Amino acid sequence: MSKRPIPVLIGDLLVKSDLISLGQLADALPISQKTGLPVGRVLVSSGFITEDRLHSALMAQSLIRDKLLNVEYAVLALRKTGEKDISLDDALREVGWRSEYFEFTNKLGQLLVEAELVNPDQLEDALQTCFNTGLPLGRILVLKGVMNDMSAYAALTAQQLIRQGKITRQQAMEALAVSAEKNTSLEESLALHGHYQVQQNNAVRLGELLVLAELVSEIDLLTAVERGIVDELPIGQVLTQAKLISYSTLVDALKVQELVCARVLNPLEAAEVLKLTKARGIAIPQAVSEVTKRTQTEKSRGLTMLELLKMVRLIPDSDMEMVLQQSSRTGTPVENILLTTGLIDSATLQVALRCHQLMSDGYLTHEQAIFALHHYVWSKEDFQLIMEKLGWVSPQR
């Protein structure tokens, strides 16, 4: 990543912008040092500056820090906020400044409010944190618990499709509401309304592959996606620049992604291959051989109930080991342990058992069972309806 510029102190910025005098800053500094309070907070409590003016200055300081605004424009805009009692956003427009990231963040926030995924107060709080910390808006909203990462990812995708002219703002709002309600991807929600058809080419997105392989967290992926959209950079480049993955990991991930497109591997197998190459330092061909052999073995004997849950990523490996040990030690059925420990809810367990039974009886392949269970986990639709939508025959119960 590029070096940060030399920090601009908030007091200096306020003096240069004529929002406070040098004497007022001189009075505030000793109090700040003695009490440990930030200089800006001392200036407000002393009545030298209003809360709104300080907020504008902190936003400007954050934009300078992230190389989105130079000091000269910041000073001009902050003077305007004092002279005309306007927001920093309006002042920046008056002085002729425009930042792609600043505009993107504001538009994304407006879209989230219009889609009723956040309320105006939540957005204002998140924007203040966003500009104070330099973290992207989507990540802030997830960290604050305002929305989950899937909804935030869907909003970023919607904003990108709007910019590309592939969907309208109204279509995006409708799809975001459905996506949040049903926990589906934005593309699935758009397709449901007939607005946008995703090309089915057996592909897996690079970021999703890295998350499946547990090499990147979902929250870090969300941040990278937002930065990538704004800066028009490939997600892989953003991840390597942020040192979230190494260049060699990126190269391996791209190679494995190609194997998915060529139908050599499915996405879950690809994630296992990538995980093996990093964990054991083996070459991709060797990892592919091991994973495909394991898959063939599982196909020949069928998946166990726990393996089915693992493939859908419902039960972490550590918890699965605990369940197996407890079942072996006490003789308690695995299903009972899963329920009593809260690792799975009753409705999901019943659907998982149904999928496993259909697979064992030959009505579903193990790939179809995994897909059907995964679809249920995300949509929570009636299982029989899911089977009908997929065109798969199953005996009525």
At 333-373, the pLDDT tens digits run 888 888 888 888 888 899 999 988 888 877 777 777 877 88
Tell me, yes or no, whether 92 and 167 share the same domain.
Answer: no
Instruction: Give dist(CA 370, CA 56) in Å, integer.
Output: 51
Q: Same domain for 84 and 107? A: no
Asked whether residue 184 carries a pLDDT value surpassing 80, the answer given is no
* Residue of higher predicted confidence among 39 and 300: 39
Q: Are residues 248 and 310 in the same domain?
A: no
Domain edge (last residue) among 252, 272, 300: 300
Q: H-type helices in 215-333, by residue range?
A: 218-231, 235-241, 247-261, 267-280, 284-301, 305-311, 317-330
Q: Same domain for 79 and 109?
A: no
**110 lies in the same domain as 93:** no
* The pLDDT value given to residue 20: 93
Query: 322 vs 298, 318, 332, CA distance in Å?
Result: 22, 6, 13
Kindly state whether residues 219 and 262 are assigned to the same domain.
yes
Is 193 in a helix, a strand, or coil?
coil
| The token pair that represents 260 in the structure block | 């998915």
**397 is a domain residue:** no
Please indicate, yes or no, if residue 364 is contained in any of the structural domains. Answer: yes
Angle, helix 267-280 to helix 247-261, in steps of 10 degrees: 150
The CA angle 72-78-82, to the nearest 5 degrees, is 145
Count of domains in the chain? Answer: 4
- 83 belongs to a structural domain: yes
- Give the range of the structural domain holding residue 229, as residue numbers without chain letter: 206-300
If asked whether residues 89 and 119 sit together in one domain, one would say no
Is residue 199 one of the residues assigned to a domain? no
Q: Is residue 200 part of a domain?
A: no
Residues 232, 272, single domain; the answer is: yes
End-to-end CA distance of the chain: 58
Residue 395 lies in a domain: no
pLDDT number for residue 134: 61
- Reading the block at residue 174, the tokens are 């409708």
Give the C-alpha separation, 138 to 117, whole Å. Answer: 12
CA-nearest of 380, 395, 387, 389 to 182 is: 380
**351 neighbors 373 (Cβ within 8 angstroms):** yes
Q: Check residue 118 and report its DSSP letter.
A: S
Q: Which residue has the higher pLDDT, 388 or 114?
A: 114
Domain end among 74, 97, 120: 97
Predicted model pTM: 0.46
Are residues 73 and 113 both part of a single domain? no
Same-domain pairing of 322 and 370: yes
Final residue of a structural domain among 255, 275, 300:
300
Class of residue 283 by CB neighbours under 10 A (exposed 0-12, middle 13-18, buried 19+)? exposed
385 and 334, same domain (yes or no): yes
Average pLDDT, the chain: 81
∠ CA 240-246-247, nearest 5°, is 75
Q: Is residue 15 part of a domain?
A: yes
Q: Is residue 3 part of a domain?
A: no
The whole-number pLDDT of residue 318 equals: 76
SS3 call for 246:
coil
What's the rounded Cα separation, in Å, for the pair 224 and 230? 10
